[in-house]
Structure 1
Amino acid sequence: MSDSPRHDPTRQDDDTPYYDHPTGGWGSLEGVTKIFGASRSSPAAMKVLARQNKPGGMMCTSCAWAKPAKPHTFEFCENGAKATLWEMDRRRAGRDFFASHTLSELKAWNDRDLEQQGRLTEPLRYDAASDRYLPVGWDEAFADIGGRLKAMDPKEAVFYSSGHAGLEASYLYALFARAMGHQNLPQSSNMCHETTSVNLLKFIGTPVGTCTLEDFDHCDAIFFFGQNTGTNSPRFLHTLKDAVDRGCRIVTFNPIRERGLISFADPQNPAQMTVAKPTRISEKYFQVRPGGDVAVMAGMIKCVLAAEDAAPGTVLDHDFIAEHTTGVEAAMDAIRAADWGEIERHSGLTRAMIEDAAEVYLSAKNVIGIYGMGLTQHVDGWLNLGMLCNLLMLRGHIGRLGAGISPVRGHSNVQGQRTIGVGEKSSHMPADKLRELFGIEPPTEEGMNAVHASEALLEGRVKALISLGGNLVRALPDRERMEAAWPTMDLTVNIATKLNRSHLVPGKVGYLLPCLGRTDEDIQGGTAQAVSMEDSLSHIYGSVGRADPPSEQVKSEVAIVAGIAAATLPPNPRLKWREWTADYGLVRDLIAATFPDQFARFNERLFEPGGFYRGNPAREREWKTESGKAEFTTPTTLSSLGETPEGAEVVTLVTLRSNDQFNTTIYGLSDRLRGLNDRQVVLINHDEIARLGLQEGQTVTLVSAVSDGVDRRVGGLKVTAYDLPPLCVAGYYPELNPLVPLSYHEKNSQTPAYKGAPVRIVAD
C-alpha cells in the first residue's frame, strides 16, 4: 500500500507542475517551430521533412518506430522534426571556431551550446601544445590512425557505435574489428536495451520483440511498462489512437504520469486540432513504484490463476503451455506463494488496482506487452522481462496475430546494428561466413561491452577508442571517473556531425572526423547512395539524403570506416574497401551473403513500402532457446531494484529525458510535456519533501548511496514538488549519470541501472 497520504497512483496531483494539454496538437507544432528558429535550419529542411519516413525519402534519425506502408501526409513527429532540423543546421563549426577556443575553455560550456555551434566541416587533430583542434588532411589522418592501430595489440582497441550509422557502415565497422583481431564492439544498446537482447533471447529465443505493425490492428489490450511514448516515439501515438478508436483497451504502469500515454490530439486531424476532443490513450494509468513492476505482474498473474481455479480449463491456454513452454509449475508455485501485502508494498498499488488491470487482461483475446527502459535499466531487469513473458505466455499471447511482446527502441538503427554484427559476441557475426567471404580467421574470444570496456579503461587496458557517432562520455554511468580516464588513452577517434562533450577529452592523440548526416546527399562514384536501417519491429528501410553537405571535405560514415580499415589492415584482395565505398549496394550484397535468412534480395527490397520484414522465429513459435521451448521464469524477488542500501534517507533515483532532448542531445532547456522549465532539478512528491525535512526551491546535492569507496555526487539541484510515488526522486539524464556506478547494472547484460539507483539528498 502507498504510505504517502497525498499520493494517489491513479490520478494527477494538481498541486504539482504538469502539462494539462494533450500530446501532439498545437503544442507539438509550436515545439517544432521553436527548434527550426534555434537551429537556423536550411530552407531545404521542409522538402526533406515532406519525404521523411516515406519510400525513397530520408528515414528519421530519431526513434526507431515503424514506418507504415501507407504513410500519413506528414510522416514525422515533433521529435523527428527536431532531429532533422538540428542536423540541417546552417551554422558551421569550422577551423575559425576551433582556432578561437581551447578545449579547456569549451569544457565550461553546456552540452546544448556545444552542439549549437553547427556542423563540423573538416578533419581535425588535437594539438596538446595549443590545446586546440587543428585541421589535418584525410590521407594523413587515415595513415596516422591506421599506423597507431597496427602497432597495438588488437584487444587494446575498442570500436564503439551509436545507433545512428546505417547498416552499410555498421557492417563494415563490425567486419573491420574482426579482421583486425578483436570483438570489442560496444554499442548504444549496452546502455538501454541490452537487457532485452540478452534475456529475451533466453526466455523466448529472440533478442528483439515479436510484434509488427499489423498486430496493432488486431490487439484487444495493450499493457505499457516503463515507456514514455510521447517523448521517445511520438509517431507511435497514431497507432495507439487508431487502436483505441476501434476499442482496444490500454493500461499503463509508470512511476510518472506521462502525457503521451494520457491524451493525444492528432496534428493531422483537423477536427482534433480545432473542436473535437483529444483521444484518451490509457483507460487505466497506475503510478507504480520504481522496481515494482515485478510485484504488479505477480499480482496480475495471481488474479489469472484465481480465475483459472474458479473455472478450470477456460482461462489459461493449456495447449500452448503444454506444447510450447517449460518451467510453468515452478514459476506459478512461486507466484501463488507471493503475499498480497508484499505485492502492495513493493508496487505502491492496492490489490484492487492490480485486480482492475487483471480484468482488462482477462477480458482480451489478443494482448500486446510494450516496454521501454523503465523495465530494462534495473539491477534485476531480467526478472522484469521474465515476468512480462510469464504474463503473456499464460494465455498464449506470443506468436500469433494481434499479440506479442514489443520493446520500443530509442535510436533509429540501434537494433539494426546488432542484427548485422555490431556486438561483442562471436554469435553476432557468423565466423564461417567471414572465412568464406573474406578469408579471415575471426577472433573467438568474446569482446567487451560498454561497461566492460569502461572498467578496462580505468584499469589501463584500453589504448584506443574509435567512436562511430554518439557522445559516449556523456552517456556512460560514473561519468566523472570516465571523463578523467579518457585522456589516458593513446588514441581517440570521434566520427561525428556536431561538436559534443566527448570530443573535449581526447586521448594523447585525438582526431575529430566530420561525417555526413542521414539528411545529407551522399555521392560516391558519381552516384547518389542510399543507406538502410532497421526499426523496432524488425523491418528494414532504405534512406536517401537530399540536403547539401556542410562542406566538400565531409565524408560519409562508410568512407571513413573504410578509409581507417584500409590504412590499418594488411592487404587482402577480398577486403575491397575502395569498391565498397564507391557502391553501397555491394555492401548490402555482403550483408545478404552473411545473413541470408534475413536479408535475401536486400537491394531488390530496399525501398519496399513499409520496409521488408526480416523475420522472427518466436513470432512463428519457433523457440531458439536451450530447451527448444519458451521458458517461464521463477521470480526470486518482488522488486527489480536488487539489494538496496538501508536507511530512511535512501530514495530511488529515476533518470528522465525531456521532450526537448534526444539521447544526450539537448534541443532546449524546457520540458513542455511535464510542465517544467529547468533541467537542474530533483523532482520529489510533497510528502517526501516534508519527510526528508526539505523545502520547495531549496538547492540540494544528490549523493550515491552505493558504498564502494567512491564519492559520487551532483549538486546545485532545485527541489521541485512533482507527482511521483513515495521513496523515489527523479532528474535528468545525462546530468545525473555521475550518480550511477559502473558496477550498478543489470546482472546479465550490464545495462546501467539508470531507472533504479539508490541516492541520498544533502542540503547545499
Structure 2
Amino acid sequence: MSERGPDEAEIEPYTGPAGGWGSLRSVSEILPRERVSPAALAELARQNKPDGFQCVSCAWSKPHPPHAAEFCEEGAKATAWELTTRRTTPAFFQEHSLTELRGWADYDLEQHGRLTDPLRYDAATDRYVVVPWETAFAEIGARLKTIEPERTIFYASGRASLETSYMYQLLARMYGHQNLPDSSNMCHESTSVGLKAAIGVPVGTVRLEDFETCDAIFFFGQNVGTNSPRMLHQLRSARKRGVEIITFNPLRERGLERFTDPQNPIEMATRGETVISTQYHQVRAGGDLAAMTGIAKYVIAADDAAQASGGPRVIDHAFIAEHCHDYAAFADYVRATDWDEIVRASGLPREAIEQAAAVYARSKAVLGIYGMGLTQHVKGVENVRMLVNLLLMRGNVGRPGAGPCPVRGHSNVQGQRTVGITEKPELAPLDSLKARYGFEPPREKGRDTIAACEGVIDGSVRAFVSLGGNFLRAVPETVLMEEGWAKLDLSVQIATKLNRSHLVPAAGATYLLPCLGRIELDEQASGPQIVTMEDSTSVIHPSRGRVTPASPNLRSEPAIVAGIAKALLPPNPSVDWDGWVADYARVRDEIAAIFPNFFNDFNARLKEPGGFWKGNKAAGRIWATPSGKAEFLVPSDLDAAGFADAEGRLRLITVRSNDQFNTTVYGYDDRFRGIKGTRKVVMMNRADIARWGLTDGQIVTLESDAEDGRARAVPDLRIVEYDVPDGCIAAYYPECNPLIAVSHHAEESHVPAAKTVPVRIRAQAA
C-alpha cells in the first residue's frame, strides 16, 4: 500500500456506523498485508483475557468475565502489526542508507517488519551494522559515563511493562538524574496535574462497574471509535438502559454517533445500530471551558431559584460543606460570567448548553469522560479542573456511577507513572529507594517532554535513551528537533520496528536495540515470564506472551535495561540486575516493597480474576490535598486555546485516523471520515472555504501563526469539505507537528497544545 497524491485520493462520506461490517472488513484487510501466520492469528482469542496478553495499543479497561472476542478493530491491527512475519534484517541496511530511508514514509518504514539484530550506526557508510549485545552495552555505558547525568534523557513509551518501567527509573536515578519524560507528558499530564490538585489523586476514580449504575455520561474531546473502541460496549449497554450521553466534540465522530456490535449476531444480520449520543454539541476548539462554565451557570441559577422558592436544591450543598473547599468563590465567578461571553468562547448557542445542563441537573450519577480534547490546550489543566468542578457541584465524585474518567492512550502509560517514571521528585519514593538500595537519589526536578525538547534544540541535552516510542515524530517543532538531534553525543533506541527517530543519527554514537514484543514468549532462566500493566481504571493485569519471537537475537526490555545498567553503574549488592532478569517476580517483589499501598502481595494478587484494583483515595472521598478537601477552581480564562483570535488566523485541531495508533500508521484509509488513500488533507467547513476564497479539493499550505514569528509550514494538503466549527480546521497528527511551536503547551502540565494550534492557510500555485 502506498500513499496517493492528495489530488488522487478518494473522498466520499462514510454512512455506516462504528463497528459492524466495516470494522470486520478493516481487520480482514490488515491480516494478509502483515502476513500474519495462522498460529499467530489464533492469538487474537487470547487478547485482553486473564490467561492471555494485554493489548499493545489502548489502555481501556478489561471486563470480567471478558467478551468472547475481547479485542476491537484497532487492537487487532496492533496485534497484526506486532506479529507480522515481515523482517527488517541487517541485510536491509546494507541495501539502504539512512539518508535514503529518511525519504520513506512512516508507514513504509514500519511496514517493512520487525527488527532482528542489535545495530550501531556507521557514519562512514551511513548505514546500520550489526553489533554484539555485550559490545553495545559496554559502549553505551562507557559513553554515558563521559556525559553529565543531568544532560541525559531517559524517555519511556507508554507500552513498557511495570517491571521494565521500575527497572528503568531505578537505572536513571542511580545514574544521577530524573529526566524521565514519558508519553503521558504528551497527552494526559494535564490530567495528572489537574486531578491531583483537585481531588488529591492523579488518576480518575471511575471503575468499569460504574457504567452499570450511572444515569448520565458527559463526554468531552475523546474519539472512542478510533482511540478506544472497546468502550463502545459499555456505552451501548448504558444506552440500552436509557442512560443519556451528552457529547462535546468539535468533529462529529462516528463512534459517538452510531455503533453496531460486531459480536451481536442479530445486529450484524439486520445491520442494527445503537445511537450513542443523545445530544452532540460541536464546541469550537478550546471552547470546552466556556461550555462547562455555561452548564455550571445554569445549575447554579436553578439552585438559586430553588432556594428562593423553597423547592428541592439542585446543588449538593451537604457534600460541598463536608468535602469541598472554595466553592463560594467559584459560584461567584460563574454568576458574574456573562452568557454572551460563554456563547462566543464556546461556539455554541445558549440553548444548546442549557439543554445539556438540564440533563446534568436532573441526573443522580454522572460520569465525566474525556480525552486529549480537554488536555492538549494551553488551559488544559483548567479544562480538567472545570470538569471536576461540575462533578463536585452535585457530589458526583466518590459514589457509584459517578466520577472523572480520563481515557488514557497507550496501554501502560498510567502504570509507568505509578512505579516511578516521573520527572517530579515529589511524586517519586526517593527516600524509600535510598533506604532499600543504598544510594542518594537526585532531588532536583528532571526534564519533562517539553524541557527535553528544549534541551535537544539548545544543545544542553547531550544523550537520549528511548525505551520504545517514536519521539522525533511525536513531539512538536519537528524541524528544529531533528537539527538538534543530529548534534547529540549519544542516541539509544529500544524498539521493535524501524521508525523516523532511528533515522536521524547522533553526531557521536547511535544504537538501535531490538526487543521482544509483548505477545512473544519471554523465556528467562526461571522459565517463561509474565509482565504487568495498569489500565485506565487503575486495575493491574498480567500479560503472558507465547508466540515464537521474531528473531532469536531479540532481548526482552528488562534484559536490555539491565544490560545498560550493569555496563554503566558500579556493582551494588542490593540490586541484583541478573536475578531480576532471570525472574520478573523478583522485580514485582521490589515494586511491592517500594509501593506497599498499591502493590502489597503483588505476585499473589495477580491471580485475582480480572486483575486487581490498586485503590484510589478519592473514590472513597479521602482527599489528599493540602486542605484535606476537594478543591474548586476559579478559571483564569473562558477560552482554553491560550491565544486570541485574529484576522486570518485559524485554530488547527490535530487528529488521528482510524488507521493509526499514536505515531504508528497502519494504512491510508480513514474510514469514518471518508478519506481514502492519503493523509495529506486539511478538513475545513464550507463557509470557511468560501470565506478564504478557496475551493474543495484545492492544494494548500498551512503555516504557523505562533507569536514567536518563526516560520513553520506543512505544504501540499488537500482541502476536504468537512463538518467542523467556524474558524477551526483539522489535519492529521503527526504530519502537522512541524506547525506546533515547542513553547505552545499547557500551563502547569506542559502538554503540547495540539488541539488548538494557531495557523494560517495559503493557496499553492497550480
Contact 2:531–2:542 (CA under 8 A) maintained in structure 1: yes
Tell me if the contact between 2:377 and 2:753 (Cα under 8 Å) persists in the aligned partners.
Answer: yes
Partner of 2:46: 51
Alignment of 1:28-39 (within 5 A): 28-39=23-34
> Structure 1, residues 122-148: CA drift from partner, whole Å, max 9, x if none?
100000000000000001000000111
Query: Residues of 1 paired with 2:763 and 2:270: CA distance?
Result: 48
Aligned to 2:276: 281
Counterpart of 1:67 (choices 59, 62, 68) is: 62
Equivalent position to 2:170, from 153, 172, 175:
175
Tell me if structure 2 keeps the 8 A contact 1:422–1:428.
no
Tell me the secondary structure at the aligned position of residue 762 of structure 1.
strand
- Please give the secondary structure, in 1, of the residue aligned with 2:267: coil
SS state at 1:406 partner: strand
2:691 is aligned with 1:667: no
2:199–2:623 Cα contact (<8 Å) kept: yes
* Structure 2: distance between partners of 1:191 and 1:505: 21
- Cα distance, 1:487 vs structure 2: 1.2
Q: What per-residue deviation string (whole Å, max 9, x for no partner) do you get for residues 244-299 of structure 1? A: 11111100000000000110100000011011621111011111101111111111
Counterparts of 1:622 and 1:649 in 2: how far apart (Å)?
49
Identity in percent: 57
Match of residue 706 from structure 2 = 706
The corresponding residue for 1:650 is 649
* CA distance in 2 between partners of 1:331 and 1:311 (Å): 19
The equivalent residue for 2:8 is none
Counterpart AA for 2:350: R
Tell me, in whole angstroms, the C-alpha distance in 2 between the residues paired with 1:232 and 1:607: 29
Higher mean alpha-carbon deviation, 633-642 vs 463-472, is at: 633-642
Alignment of 1:397-408 (within 5 A): 397-408=396-407
The answer to whether the 8 A contact 2:654-2:730 is kept is yes
2:94 aligned with 1:95: no
Matched, 1:20 2:15: yes
1:563 counterpart residue number: 563
Shift of 1:39: 1.0
1:144 to 136, 139, 142: 139
Q: Secondary structure at the match of 2:246?
A: strand
Distance across 1 between alignment mates of 2:466 and 2:608: 31
Separation in 1, partners of 2:217, 2:303: 21
Contact 2:651–2:758, Cα closer than 8 Å, also in 1: yes
Residue 268 in structure 1 maps to residue 263 in structure 2: yes
Looking at structure 1, the residues matched to 259 and 707 of structure 2 have their Cα atoms a distance apart, in angstroms, of 43
Matching residue's letter, 2:363? A
Distance 1:425 1:596 in 2: 20
Secondary structure of 1:754's partner? coil
SS of residue paired to 1:492: strand
Matched residue of 1:273: which SS? helix
Matched residues in 1 for 2:82 and 2:293: separation?
A: 45
Partner of 1:733: 733
Q: 2:42 is paired with a residue of what secondary structure?
A: helix
User: 1:212: which partner in 2?
Assistant: 207
Superposed displacement of residue 605, structure 1:
1.4
Unmatched 5+ stretches in structure 1: 1-15
Give the TM-score normalised by structure 1: 0.97
Code of the residue aligned with 2:257 in structure 1: it is: I
**In 1, distance between residues paired with 2:608 and 2:667?**
36
Residue number in structure 1 paired with 2:483: 484
Which residue is equivalent to 1:164? Answer: 159
Instruction: Check the 8 A contact 1:541/1:607 in 2, yes or no.
Output: no
Q: Which residue of 2 aligns with 1:321?
A: 320
Describe the SS at the equivalent of 1:759. strand
Q: Which amino acid is the alignment partner of residue 88 of structure 2?
A: A
Question: Quick check: 1:747 aligned with 2:747?
Answer: yes
- Equivalent residue, structure 2, for 1:432: 431
Q: How does 1:95-494 map to 2 (within 5 A)?
A: 95-275=90-270, 277-312=272-307, 314-494=313-493
Contact kept? 2:88, 2:115, Cα under 8 Å? yes
Deviation, 1:151, is 1.8
Q: Distance in 1 between matches of 2:427 and 2:504?
A: 31
Give the match's secondary structure for 2:266.
coil
**One-letter identity of the residue aligned with 1:580:** W
1:715 alignment counterpart: 715
Match of 1:617 in 2: 617
Amino acid at match of 2:749: S
Q: Deviations over 1:524-543 (max 9, x none)?
A: 00500000000000000000
Report the CA distance between 1:18 and its aligned residue.
3.5
Compute the displacement of 1:643 (Å). 2.5
Contact 1:147 1:568 in 2 (8 A): yes
Q: Distance in 2 between matches of 1:105 and 1:672?
A: 31
Give the letter for the 1:360 counterpart: V
CA contact 1:420–1:428 (8 Å) conserved in 2 = no
The alignment partner of 1:272 has SS state of helix
Say whether the 8 Å CA contact 1:45–1:84 is kept in structure 2: no
3-state DSSP of counterpart to 2:304: helix
1:638 is displaced (CA, Å) by 1.3
Query: How many angstroms apart in 2 are the aligned matches of 1:138 and 1:44?
Result: 30
Residue identity in the other structure for 1:552: P
Q: Are the equivalent residues in 2 in contact too, given 1:497–1:515 (CA < 8 A)?
A: yes
CA distance in structure 1 between the aligned counterparts of 2:607 and 2:248, rounded to whole angstroms: 37
Alpha-carbon separation, structure 1, partners of 2:300 and 2:90: 67
User: Aligned partner of 1:703: which letter?
Assistant: E
Counterpart-to-counterpart distance in 1, 2:517 and 2:386: 40
SS state of the match for residue 655, structure 1? strand
Contact 1:124 1:135 in 2 (8 A): yes
Mapped to 2, the partners of 1:680 and 1:604 lie a distance apart of: 50
Q: Aligned partners of 1:571, 1:511: CA distance in 2, in Å?
A: 24
Q: Name the counterpart of 1:4.
A: none
Contact 1:230 1:260 in 2 (8 A): yes
Quote the Cα distance in structure 2 between the aligned partners of 1:34 and 1:228: 23
Give, in whole Å, the separation in 1 of the partners of 2:708 and 2:112. 39
Distance 2:152 2:572 in 1: 21
The structural deviation recorded for 1:17 is 5.1
Task: Give CA deviations for 1:353-374 in whole Å, capped at 9, x if unaligned.
Answer: 1111011111211000000000
- Asked whether the equivalents of residues 20 and 271 of structure 2 are also in contact (C-alpha less than 8 Å), the reply is no
Whether the 8 Å CA contact 1:519–1:547 is kept in 2: the answer is yes
The letter of the residue matching 2:408 is R
Aligned equivalents of 1:132, 1:636: Cα separation in 2: 52
Whichever residue aligns with residue 57 of structure 1, its letter is: G
Displacement of 1:647 in angstroms is: 2.6
For the structure 1 residues 96 and 535, does the alpha-carbon distance in structure 2 shift closer, same or farther, using more than 3 Å as the test?
same
Aligned AA (2:545): G
Specify the SS of the correspondent of 2:92. Answer: helix
Offset of 1:758 from its aligned partner? Answer: 0.6
Q: Which residue of 2 aligns with 1:524?
A: 524
Q: What letter is aligned with 1:554?
A: L
Contact 2:458 2:484 in 1 (8 A): no
| RMSD of aligned Cα (Å) | 1.0
What amino acid is aligned across from residue 67 of structure 1 in structure 2?
K
Task: Note if contact 1:91-1:119 (Cα within 8 Å) is conserved in structure 2.
Answer: yes
Query: CA contact under 8 A between 1:56 and 1:607: conserved in structure 2?
Result: no
Q: Secondary structure at the match of 1:274?
A: helix
For the pair 1:40 / 2:35, whether they are aligned, the reply is yes
Residue 9 (structure 1) aligns with? none
Distance 1:34 1:658 in 2: 16
